[in-house]
Amino acid sequence: MECLQKAKLIGLRKNKVKKRILVTGSEGYIGQHLVEHLLKKDFEVIGCDLCWYDEAFVCKRETGYKLLNIDFDHLTQEDLSGVDSVCHLAAISNDPMGDLDPSITLDINEEKTISFAEKCSSWGVGQFIFSSSCSVYGEAVEDIVNENSALNPVSLYAETKCSVEKALASLNSDYFSTTSLRNATAYGHSSNLRLDLVINDFVSTAHCTGSIKMLSDGEAHRPLVHCRDIAHAFVSSIEASQEDTHGLIVNVGPLDANLKVVDMAKMVQSEFGNCSLEIGEGAGRDARDYAVDFSLFGKVFPEFKFEYSLESGIQALRKSLDQINFSQSDHSGGRFKRLALLRRALSL
């Protein structure tokens, strides 16, 4: 009898249309794109965010959803009542922050995240989608890495992603399904702007100074994906069949995502015409060096279409900077740099 009831419950979950979605980090760089996508799909959306980065908004935030202005670790069973899927984006998403105070990154990105996933499992949430990162490959041990390759993280941020992925794998059951999206390095425009990302830094610097100065030798490989496409990948994970996403760990990025950092700089230089490009004196190698195989993502989500090429993403970001009259003071200040905002929020 117990097996029969279990089978019925599984069947109901497969056929149920997921309508209520909780997004942690909803007010952030990727979170606002995700909220927009979900609302357009007519999902009921609940956001959860401490709003540390409100200063970085350059246009109005999304409306039409409930926002809980609390730490995700403080969400109650009542808050999660009726939630079908959790999209967990909330994190200290900055390598330098991990160096500044490792205990904070470890606490939020690993310990609280694992505890939160365990609560979701116990409180009836059906699906937990985790924003992981291709940074788990770190200093890659293969020319092209895939989901089965050895992980070799070189930062605390990446180490916490590895730990959470492992913990989530142990939580999968007939009643709870986890998916880990290993996103390539994000870039692009957002209503909550962030410029401490490699492409965004190159574009904003070229926009203000007419030059790009690289801090490394540029020979490291890094895959790229537009922040809006990352948000779209979360929606696709919600809409896909559970058989396809149950326990899935998948690299997220277009097939042509892998570039050397110096080639990224040259693409930005080309967009700005007379922009100069300089490799800093004594610039060394970046230990984060990985080229990634994204073919599994295409197999799991065959209908997925990436909205942005790198070229169109650079052009869109440049246009958005023009529209907000982005200035030298914006570039040199801390408004669009997560480390500065985090220091202020945490009084560090």
Question: What pLDDT, on the 0 to 100 scale, is given for residue 5?
Answer: 34
* Residue/partner pairs of 256-260 with CB below 8 Å, 24 or more apart: 256/309, 257/184, 257/223, 257/224, 257/225, 257/292, 257/294, 258/144, 258/221, 258/222, 258/223, 258/291, 258/292, 259/221, 259/222, 259/223, 259/224, 259/310, 260/218, 260/219, 260/220, 260/221, 260/222
Res 10 pLDDT > 60: no
User: pLDDT band at 226, cuts 50/70/90?
Assistant: very high
- Rounded to 10 degrees, the C-alpha dihedral 159/221/25/172 comes to -50
Asked whether residue 4 is domain-assigned, the answer is no
Res 15 pLDDT > 60: no
At 270, the amino acid letter reads S
In percent, how much of the chain has pLDDT > 70? 94
User: pLDDT band at 16, cuts 50/70/90?
Assistant: low
Mean pLDDT, residues 111-119 taken together: 98
Q: Using alpha carbons only, how large is the chain's radius of gyration in Å?
A: 20
User: pLDDT band at 101, cuts 50/70/90?
Assistant: confident
Please list the alpha-helical segments (H only) found in 93-155.
Answer: 95-100, 102-105, 113-122
Question: What pLDDT, on the 0 to 100 scale, is given for residue 329?
Answer: 95
344 sits in the region (left: phi over 0; alpha: psi -120 to 50; else beta) called alpha
Residue 107's alpha-carbon distances to 67, 115, 128, 160, in angstroms, are 23, 10, 19, 9
Mean pLDDT, residues 279-301 taken together: 87
Distance CA 67, CA 83 (A): 14
User: pLDDT band at 3, cuts 50/70/90?
Assistant: very low
Asked whether residue 5 is domain-assigned, the answer is no
Q: What is the CATH number of the domain that holds 78?
A: 3.40.50.720
Res 13 pLDDT > 50: no
Asked whether residue 237 is domain-assigned, the answer is yes
147 and 182 in contact (C-beta within 8 Å)? yes
Asked whether residue 248 is domain-assigned, the answer is yes
Question: What pLDDT, on the 0 to 100 scale, is given for residue 107?
Answer: 96
Asked whether residue 103 is domain-assigned, the answer is yes
Res 285 pLDDT > 90: no
Distance CA 294, CA 229 (A): 14
Question: What pLDDT, on the 0 to 100 scale, is given for residue 9?
Answer: 42
14: CB partners within 8 A, 6+ apart: 241, 242, 243
Res 196 pLDDT > 80: yes
Q: Could you give the number of structural domains in the chain?
A: 1
Q: Write down the mean pLDDT value for the chain.
A: 92
Q: What is the pLDDT of residues 27-78, one digit of tens each?
A: 999 999 999 999 999 999 999 999 999 999 999 999 999 999 999 999 999 9
Higher pLDDT, 48 or 15: 48
Residue 198's alpha-carbon distances to 76, 78, 224, 229, in angstroms, are 37, 40, 9, 17
- Domain containing 296: what range? 14-346
Distance CA 306, CA 233 (A): 9
Res 174 pLDDT > 60: yes
Question: What pLDDT, on the 0 to 100 scale, is given for residue 282?
Answer: 66
Distance CA 342, CA 338 (A): 6
126 burial type by CB count under 10 A (0-12 exposed, 13-18 middle, 19+ buried): middle
Asked whether residue 106 is domain-assigned, the answer is yes
| Residue 107 C-beta-side C-alpha neighbours within 13 Å | 8
Report how far Cα 13 is from the mean position of its chain's Cα atoms: 27
* Tokens at 75, concatenated: 């969400």
Res 12 pLDDT > 50: no
Asked whether residue 9 is domain-assigned, the answer is no
The CA angle 321-326-327, to the nearest 5 degrees, is 150
Question: What pLDDT, on the 0 to 100 scale, is given for residue 207?
Answer: 96
Res 327 pLDDT > 90: yes
69: CB partners within 8 A, 6+ apart: 49, 50, 51
Q: What is the pLDDT of residues 295-317, one digit of tens each?
A: 999 999 999 999 999 999 999 99
Res 262 pLDDT > 80: yes
Question: What pLDDT, on the 0 to 100 scale, is given for residue 286?
Answer: 79
What is the model's pTM? Answer: 0.93
User: pLDDT band at 96, cuts 50/70/90?
Assistant: confident
Indicate the helix (H) or strand (E) that contains 46: strand 44-48
Question: What pLDDT, on the 0 to 100 scale, is given for residue 19?
Answer: 87
Asked whether residue 256 is domain-assigned, the answer is yes
In percent, how much of the chain has pLDDT > 90? 84
Where does 167-303 show beta strands of DSSP type E?
177-183, 185-187, 211-216, 221-226, 248-252, 258-260, 276-284
Q: What is the pLDDT of residues 128-159, one digit of tens each?
A: 999 999 999 999 989 999 999 999 999 999 99
At 292, the amino acid letter reads V
Nearest C-alpha neighbor of 85 from the set 182, 181, 177: 177
Q: How many CB atoms lie within 10 A of CB 182?
A: 26
